[in-house]
Structure 1
């Protein structure tokens, strides 16, 4: 178990989709403690208003203690402030940091293996039916902050404020209690359904990962990591499941999303480029023109005639 303290400068997140789980886990400048496969971190930011892309190969909880922030998926925007809590699936999203107040949150990262071991340990308590259907829920889910969750958030703050290392067994037991509450509460069925889906077949999990994450600027190696596969295994599995190469499938999905935005939204071409996971607008325009034989602007103007 290790403990550090740091106020983060987010400039490192500006240019690329950053694996926030690996970044925080490996950085020696955060106040955090690691127990088994779990990573608990106090995340503090002193930055100007900024928008950045991030992804994580571990699911995580976010308990906001100060300031505000917005998580943006290709489905919805999720604004959070002090007292709010989120569950974020492994995968990618866009975060928007605001400069009006210093942002601070307590975060808990959970790799898939921990969830699977937890479900096996409490199999007598957790009742679930193995389901090989895709979960129709967003990559970011709000937690209902009741008295139990509020008490848990405050207890975490106490551990980070203490000078001594927290008791490993106590931290583990309290987190297991949190998960049991989520699995057995009607208020968090969307989260428990998703966690149960981690027991689904590899092909179903691959479909889920690609459906949730194709609009982001991720590399094939990063998709493979999300699927818990090597790159070569990922490519073979992808071809078997989707009957085409990953690159072609991702491009077709991004083009379908882009044309939808052009038809139904007032987003600018630049906004659509970034919301569809392109590195920059010029790259988006080039790919779109090759795919549709017209530029995005000409496509939109044709629709509006």
Structure 2
């Protein structure tokens, strides 16, 4: 099997040198397409990946692995085998149907490079609601949320249009497993419509995240974002190697600050002139923080000991 796979990869390497912008620049670099099952032009299927990796350890210095954005099983397997996001290759692929590209350098020792672990199949429990990955049919609700005047009031960037949201939805799982930023959707049930969007971003140094949130207008005033932030924070501190989560709020956005406070985040500092406004000016940022070693205690103190918010529902 190893010899057959190696010969096939060698042929693929040479053909890509002529036809693919991600073709190898040396004989020891190769590009392969991986699919869960045989597709239109896969180099190998998911069950062949471990055998292929054994061969690559001695025959290749670098492998670019391509797969579809919806092939979550392959994305998971590549992350677990030490493949990481290739930002150069990804930046050059601009077409909507572009494949995911993950890379592994076989000249160095690699370990699992998962940014965040897989969430449970039913989603993350968040005090009566659940956080799941986005679905394609969330598009219209998220688009309306982007354009909502209430959401725009304290925004730091222009709203995303339909095309940009389609791309964001399509890449959300890939970005969750390997990228710098992704998002989850708060729902009443795993298949329910969106109630809120929770953005998650990796921050330097390792083990630090930044979160943001926006509630769907029809569900404001019900404590949705508070439950989403609390549920995610609890999960991140128990299921992932996260030790600090940051949350930035403009001083004028008191409703959003209330979400942070009711989620047991504390205001650590004020960062002057850090957040942009849509008119070109800048606002200060209230920097809220949750720390792994103290958040559960703070959360229980805020909730009366049962881990759930004892505060009145808010509007954000």
Bin for the TM-score computed over the shorter chain: under 0.3
Answer with 1 or 2: which has the greater Rg: 2
Structure with more relative contact order (C-alpha pairs < 8 Å, separation 6 or more): 1
Structure with more of its chain in strand, by fraction: 2
Normalised TM-score (structure 1): 0.27
Normalised TM-score (structure 2): 0.26
